[in-house]
Every structure is written in C-alpha cells, then in structure tokens.
Amino acid sequence: MRPSQTPRRRTLPAVLTTVLLAAAALLVPALPAAAHDELTGTDPASDAVLETLPEQITLSYSADVLTDAGATVIEVTDAAGTSLTDGVPEVSGSEVTQALAGPASGTVTVQWRVVSSDGHPIDGEFAFSVPESTPTPAPTPSATPSASATAAASEAASPAATTEVTIPLESDAPASPLPWILLVVALVIVAGVLVYVFASRGPRNTAGGGGAGR
C-alpha cells in the first residue's frame, strides 16, 4: 500500500500548481483594465439644459491624469459644428478644465481624451444644451438718412417751398403799347384841328380883301 500512496502524493501538488497557474493567467489580463482611470463627473452634467453657455467646463476623473504635452484634448462644438473652446485645457490633478467662448446654438457636444495614470489613453463624449441664439438684424441703409435725403424731406415739409411764385417787377416787365397809341391818337386829333383852323381861315381872308378894294 505504501508504493500506491506515493504517486498520489506527488500528483496532488502538480494538479494544484496547474490550477493556480491557470487562474493567474485568467486574472492577469484583467488587471491593467481595472487600473485604467475613468470619468467620474462633469460640470455641467451630461444632458443638462442651461440658460447660457458657461465660461468653462470641468471634467473629473478617478485618479490624476498625465500632464504631458498633447495628452489631454478637449473639443467643444455647437449644433452647427462651430468650435467653442478658448485656449488649451488645464490639468490639475484629477480635474481638467476647458475655457469656452463664443455664441452657442442648440446642443453643445464635448469630446475628450486624456492619458490615464497607468499610461493608457481613455476618451469619451457627453453633451448639454443651451438656447439657440437669435441673430441681431443688421441695420438697413435707410435707417440713417443721408444729408441729401434730410434736405429733400425738409423742402417737402415746407409749404413755402411748393407754393412760392416769383412775380416780376414792373421794371422787368415789357412796356405796354397803350401809351404810344394814345399819343398817336392825340397827335392825329391835334393835326386835324390845325388843318381845320387853317382851312377855315383861308376863304375869309380872301373875301375880306376883295371888299376893301372895291
């Protein structure tokens, strides 16, 4: 019986060792994944509805993220795809802050990528909403009247400008022919009277002269 028990005692440690190695092989690949950092919160929160675009957004992670150049990237765009980021993101321990600027319109999308404390990059996306901005209407050209338009309006509003009639002075008016006609008529009358007087005196003088001679 002793010879049969000896192989069993040697086989049991070998089986236990094989089981432990298999379990370790299954657990080792999962360890790095468990060590990755993760996003734990955002300000503003995902799917939040805000009155205006905030001055900045803050992303919080489960551990400090790396601060290597280009390791942290934050992209913020509005519904039209216009970028709203102002400068580069600032990393402080486990928090990343990104300043925002510009008018927002509708849904604002935030895409982020950081390098975890274990050296692996992680990324994600979330969104929030702000009211759509109403564009300010541009002033029309007629909103500011020009000097010529103002002068024309002033002339139209003045009654004297439309009813004024220029009357020529007597010195400028052409001379009337009536005085000359009256003068000619008077001369004709005077000439007729003179002719009549001289004609009537002639025969009398001749008759008187003949009687005296007799």
Give the residue-averaged pLDDT of 91-95: 94
**Beta carbons of 104 and 84 less than 8 angstroms apart:** yes
| Cα 91 from Cα 203, distance rounded (Å) | 150
Using a cut of 0.75, tell me whether the model's pTM lies above it: no
Give the residue-averaged pLDDT of 130-142: 62
DSSP letter (8 states) at residue 96: E
Computed over every residue of the chain, the mean pLDDT equals 74
CA 138 vs. chain centroid, Å, equals 6
pLDDT tens-digit readout, 6-30: 555 556 556 555 645 655 555 445 4
What does the block give as tokens for 46?
């995902």
pLDDT at 214 over 50: no
Secondary structure (3-state) at 106:
strand
DSSP letter (8 states) at residue 118: T
Pairing of strands 56-61, 90-92: unpaired
Pairing of strands 90-92, 39-43: unpaired
Alpha carbons within 13 angstroms on the beta-carbon side of residue 19 total: 6
User: 57 has which bridge partners?
Assistant: 98
| pLDDT level of residue 195 (50, 70, 90 thresholds) | confident
Q: Which residue has the higher pLDDT, 46 or 161?
A: 46
